[in-house]
Structure 1
Amino acid sequence: MSSYKKLIYFTLLLILLVYSVQILNIARFPSQIDIIKGDSRNLNIFFPFSLEIMEESSDIVKINSTNAERLSVGLKNSYNLESTNNGIAKLKLKFLGIFSIRDIQVNVVNQAYVIPGGETIGVKLNTKGVLVVATSEIQSIDGKIYNPARNAGIKVGDSITMINGIKIKDADHVIQLLNNIKNNKVKIEIERNNASFTTEVLPVKSKQDNSYRLGIWVRDKTAGIGTLTFYEPNTKKFGALGHAITDVDTGTLMKAENGEIMRAKVSSIEQGKKGSPGELRGMFFETDDVLGKIENNTTFGIYGTIYDENKLFKQKQLLPVGFQSEVKLGKAYILANIEGDKVTEYEVEILKLEKQNVPQSKSMVIKITDERLKEKTGGIVQGMSGSPIIQNGKIVGAVTHVFVNDPTKGYGIYIEWMLKEAGIYVNNNSEFAEGK
């Protein structure tokens, strides 16, 4: 093959590579963009794609584009979205300036404010129904071995929500219902991977205790400590942890039926070391100092409503919320509670940022740089999840996970993802965007 042909093939391959990456970026392009009124957002798009604003949206967002008329292979067009008024603007992503391939909604919103947390809280969570953590064989009174749950398709990680149409309260309720029904088939309603289905099971009378059983081990509650991330006074909503509460045995997200957060005090610290993340140990009493109710346990934290804001937030001030586009590499600080009930600022460095068009938990990588914190905890430890991340006077995220092999480093989540989970920023929330 001649050098000329090789050059042509190489050039074509390079062009294909460039545009395959661009097509992938276009496929991941967000369907919604939030901009604070008065701010702007830069979007870079390669030819042959372009961005166009709908005429009726021109009084909400204006587009200033660079090199928009020079269409050449590989040319990057930079679009600057300037927000002028509250409301929802509609943009179109086009191919060759003719074919519309994606509608984009731009929500221009007022600056949002929340009260940052940092306090250690006690968390008590009751599951929806009961969570199956293991299945087992049963020796029946006839001497034979049975495994009714497994034979009926019940698996570890399933949530049993109803038996014969009766809503399950807790593990004791399951035993009570089975012994009332005895050796008749029962209808079991199960939730698995956000889907529900029903199966039939014939309980077996156990030789061990003469009780009717399904051959399952279940869990109906959990408790522990974590860190409060924010409180929004207008809605009375709070967010905490920045990650899900999962079952210790199965790793399954525990679906919340109800639960509460309580005031807690840090009693001791197990320092984090390479290979061992460390832990905050705290004390709280379930009947005292209840702060609020847990309504949702999600991949991005726990959320609910505060009962009385004066119990925790009377002396605290609001901070503006920083969107993903405002977060920068470099110096920031976290609010954490590692002694008693005192919240302290600790310096960190944001080392890496991920561009995320949809909510994800690992939004940024942070490193603890504050010698005080490193001396006391070794870095990020269990119980600090949810510690708010502050940069340039705005709350921009929360600590979520620690690097097991380097406890001075960990992941953080963008605060906007937590606010959306709390229902404060909701997709297609026109009333919020219009400031109503």
Structure 2
Amino acid sequence: MFRRPRVVIHLGYILIVFLIISLALAAGVRRIPYEHHVMVGEELPWRAVFPPYVAARLAPSPAQGQAGPEILGLSQGRPVAREPGRASLQLYLFGLLPVKTVQVDVLPPVEVVPGGHSIGVLLENQGVTVVGYAPILEPGGKEAYPARDAGVLLGDVLLAVNGREVRSDEETAGLIDRAGAGGRPVELKVRRGRQVLQLSVPPAKCAQTGRFRIGMYIRDSAAGVGTLTFYDPRRQAYAALGHAVTDSLSQDQAQVEGGRIVQASVEGIQPGHRGQPGEKIGFFAGGKYWGTIDRNTPFGIFGRLTTSLPPAVYNHPVPVAMDYQVHTGPAQILTVVTGTAVEAFDITIDAVISEEKERGRGLVIRITDPRLLVVTGGIVQGMSGSPILQEGRLVGAVTHVFVNDPTRGYGVLAQWMLLETDLFGVKVPDLGCLPVRPGEAEHDYLLPA
């Protein structure tokens, strides 16, 4: 009987083990993010980002029209940032097998002034939002729901009535009444998620008001309370909230046509408890606008200041930290718990999870300040955007609270927020608005109209 030489069998075993190990290592490489950021003059934190079995070489970047050596150099195999721009790195397994190309954005050092101010957020939405159904009492005493019966759903946004764009509830009601008085149906242009629909609704005359209606409650604007994260007094740019403003019914990212921020005053705190997030109780202080709302993104709202802000804890710029400069340990947040006074409170950063960029959650934080725990019970609604500082750098902003433990929550990295501005000169792609995981709650919310 034929017997294979032992050496062949052993080589086969070795080859199988090698393949298994290679596949496992390649899987680890695939988990490396495709995009990295580093400040000019610094090394990319090589071993913190790439496994020890991975080597890198500069790769051509056709999209940039350059190979990138003047942007990112290699010193003893480690990438060193030279000047602002984008370069590509080709990753090799054991220095031999090409497995992945990653982009490295070299960014100029940027300093901003940390905020902490409570702000009122006044949004100007496109169209009006359906927030409820309202029965119409007809002359015979029968209740009618024309809009509901025609297929209008809660959360739908009415963009136009009979071909005319609408932006207020009064305007919408007037167009419906005129259509009914003229014996015409109400033709609605409706946005539902990413769809735009056309619905025809027969109006009914309300015996109580004497007007024609289609039986629904609508809201023409949104407002809420949050916290300003940082601003640049030279360019008059600001960032706030740290997450997108979402529609209170659909939880989709609100389609914002513009808006304003104003100063808000905190008049009370409803402390948070396990299973019940707390909230700041506040009102808009004064009638002077602080700035415009130009963009609503997964990393917060952004705009331009129209006035100088009142003094806070920091009245001078501080450096913005990159993700590799943030670490677990003590930190502080800036926020308002009474009136309009910004105060600093102690926290601990329990985890840095820079790979969670798509969800906008790069930090896990825990409130440790004894006074803040007594006053608020932890993280409460209205704290979204509260800046997080560590070792003299702005590292992030508060965004979410853990419903089952209000002393803990998520934060967004300041680097991600800054990339949404023009202060770096680099933009991140629009990631859309992602849902909240079970057990978490958005801090800021749209107040019911």
TM-score by length of 1: 0.81
The residue that corresponds to 2:392 in the other structure is: 393
1:74 match = none
User: What is the CA–CA distance in structure 2 between the aligned matches of 1:218 and 1:172, rounded to whole Å?
Assistant: 10
CA distance in 1 between counterparts of 2:20 and 2:143 reads 65
Match of 2:178 among 174, 180, 184: 180
Give the conservation status (yes or no) of the 8 Å contact 1:184–1:202. Answer: no
Is 1:343–2:354 an aligned residue pair? no
Q: In the alignment, which residue of structure 2 is the partner of 1:375?
A: 374
Question: Is 1:88 paired with 2:96?
Answer: no
- Deviations, residues 113-160 of structure 1 (Å, cap 9, x unaligned): 111001112222232211122346656668887655445543322222
2:16 pairs with 1:18? no
What pairs with 1:328-367 in structure 2 (closer than 5 Å)? 328-356=327-355, 358-367=357-366
Residues 367 and 152 of structure 1, relative CA distance in 2, 3 Å threshold: same
| Distance of 1:389 and 1:315 partners within structure 2 | 12
1:53 equivalenced with 2:59 (yes/no): yes
Specify the alignment match of 1:216 in structure 2. Answer: 216
**In structure 2, how many angstroms separate the alpha carbons of the residues matched to 1:224 and 1:321?**
27
Q: 3-state DSSP class of the match of 1:289?
A: strand
SS at match of 1:309: coil
Structure 2 match to 1:246: 246
What does 1:262-273 align with in structure 2 at a 5 Å threshold? 262-273=262-273
Q: Deviations over 1:139-190 (max 9, x none)?
A: 6668887655445543322222222332212111111112222343444333
Q: CA deviation at 1:327?
A: 1.0
Is residue 195 of structure 2 the alignment partner of residue 192 of structure 1?
no
The answer to whether the 8 A contact 1:240-1:302 is kept is yes
Report the alpha carbon displacement of residue 342 of structure 1 after superposing the two structures with TM: 1.6
1:160 — aligned with what?
A: 158
Which secondary structure does the structure 2 equivalent of 1:15 belong to? helix
Matches within 5 A, 1:315-330: 316-330=315-329
Partner Cα separation in structure 1 for residue 137 and residue 23 of structure 2: 63
Identity of aligned residues (%): 33
| Paired residues, number | 408
The offset of 1:307, in angstroms, is: 0.3
The 1:426/1:23 distance shift into structure 2, 3 A limit, reads same
CA RMSD of aligned residues (A): 3.5
How far off is 1:258 after superposition?
Answer: 3.0
Could you tell me how far apart the structure 1 residues matched to 2:346 and 2:128 are? 42
Q: Residue 41 of structure 2 corresponds to which residue in structure 1? A: 38
**Aligned with 2:324: secondary structure?**
helix
CA distance in 2, matches of 1:319, 1:355: 21
Matched residue of 1:40: which SS?
A: coil
2-side partners of 1:177 and 1:101: how far apart?
Answer: 61
Q: Look up the match of 1:281.
A: 281
Contact 1:291 1:311 in 2 (8 A): no
CA offsets per residue over residues 265-315 of structure 1, 9 Å max, x none?
A: 222222222222222222324x52321122233333222211012555798
Contact 2:227 2:383 in 1 (8 A): yes
Report the TM-score, using the length of structure 2 for normalisation.
0.79
Rate the CA distance shift 1:210–1:21 in 2: closer, same or farther, 3 A: farther
User: Cα offset for 1:359?
Assistant: 4.0
Deviates more, 1:308-317 or 1:295-304: 308-317
Gap change, CA 1:378 and 1:107, over 3 Å in 2: same
For residue 69 of structure 1, what is the aligned residue in structure 2? Answer: none
| Runs of at least 5 residues in structure 2 that lack an aligned partner in the other structure | 1-8, 61-65, 429-449
SS class of match (2:331): strand
CA distance in 1, matches of 2:205, 2:95: 72
Task: Check 1:85–1:244 CA distance in 2 against 1; reply closer, same or farther (3 A cut).
Answer: closer
